Chains A and B, each alone.
Chain A
Amino acid sequence: EAQVTQNPRYLITVTGKKLTVTCSQNMNHEYMSWYRQDPGLGLRQIYYSMNVEVTDKGDVPEGYKVSRKEKRNFPLILESPSPNQTSLYFCASSLAGDGNQPQHFGDGTRLSIL
């Protein structure tokens, strides 16, 4: 089954404790992206990757890091999480590296930073 898998689905943690949210897709997609969703603000792109070793900032990259060492994986790293990063996070992928194809979304990760 074609899917985007995020882990964990839920996480409560404390300020400053490094965490990683994993994202994996099995569709051989070139484009992968991370979003955060906050009430009233819609989906805001954090980082995106057009292919292996090619990443770029979205609208809200501060406080986040990403890497794309393999085509299927695109982890999101919070080196020193803060309460303002409490949000619902989605990973997505699409076929073409230019982002002009529809995206498939993971089920989301709800992060709470205390």
Chain B
Amino acid sequence: QKEVEQNSGPLSVPEGAIASLNCTYSDRGSQSFFWYRQYSGKSPELIMFIYSNGDKEDGRFTAQLNKASQYVSLLIRDSQPSDSATYLCAVNGWSSASKIIFGSGTRLSIRP
């Protein structure tokens, strides 16, 4: 089992709709969770980070963390064509002592 798993996609969502991206992780003691966006040929850039169970909202983005079920999700409201990118989930595991594990990413495509 991979330590951090994401559906590779592509996930196709119509413009204006909600895009939902999911990530599961295996290290139950993981402490911090990150979502990065990566455009083709570019470096990852931070979208959201979350440490506690529940929801965290920033503009059109909401991160949701459920430690009991070991998943973290990212919701993008009012999706725009500029949101088309690969979204990377990253986890800092407790048992791995500051080692950061990335999922393989979900490719999101927003269709006009």
CB under 8 Å from chain A, chain B span 67-112: 88, 90, 92, 97-105
User: Within the assembled complex, what's the spacing in Å between the Cα atoms of A108 and B39?
Assistant: 13
Interface residues contributed by chain A, number (CB under 8 Å): 27
Identity of the chain A residue whose Cβ is nearest the Cβ of B51 in the assembled complex: A100
Q: Are A105's CB and B45's CB within 8 A?
A: yes
Q: How far is the CB of A27 from chain B (nearest CB, A)?
A: 14
Interface residues contributed by chain B, number (CB under 8 Å): 23
User: Within the assembled complex, what's the spacing in Å between the Cα atoms of A105 and B75?
Assistant: 23
- Please tell me which one of the listed residues B31, B101, B103 contacts residue A45 in the complex, with CB atoms under 8 A apart: B101
Identity of the chain A residue whose Cβ is nearest the Cβ of B98 in the assembled complex: A99
Query: Can you list 29 A-B pairs, Cβ within 8 angstroms, ordered by A?
Result: A41-B104, A42-B103, A42-B105, A43-B88, A45-B99, A45-B100, A45-B102, A48-B98, A48-B99, A50-B98, A56-B97, A56-B98, A58-B100, A59-B101, A90-B43, A97-B98, A98-B98, A99-B98, A99-B99, A100-B31, A100-B32, A100-B92, A101-B32, A102-B49, A103-B34, A103-B90, A103-B100, A108-B42, A108-B43
Which residues on the A side are within 8 Å of B44 (C-beta)?
43, 90, 103, 105
- Decide if B52 is an interface residue (CB 8 Å cutoff): no
Which residues on the B side are within 8 Å of A104 (C-beta)?
46
Q: B-contacting residues of A (Cβ < 8 Å)?
A: 31, 33, 35, 40-45, 48, 50, 56, 58-59, 90, 97-108
Identity of the chain A residue whose Cβ is nearest the Cβ of B86 in the assembled complex: A42
Other A-B pairs, 10, CB within 8 Å; known A31-B98, A42-B103, A100-B31: A40-B8, A43-B88, A43-B90, A43-B102, A48-B100, A102-B49, A103-B34, A103-B44, A106-B43, A108-B42
Q: How far is the CB of B108 from chain A (nearest CB, A)?
A: 15
Identity of the chain B residue whose Cβ is nearest the Cβ of A106 in the assembled complex: B43
User: Within the assembled complex, what's the spacing in Å between the Cα atoms of A99 and B103?
Assistant: 17
Q: Are A107's CB and B43's CB within 8 A?
A: yes
Q: Are B46's CB and A42's CB within 8 A?
A: no
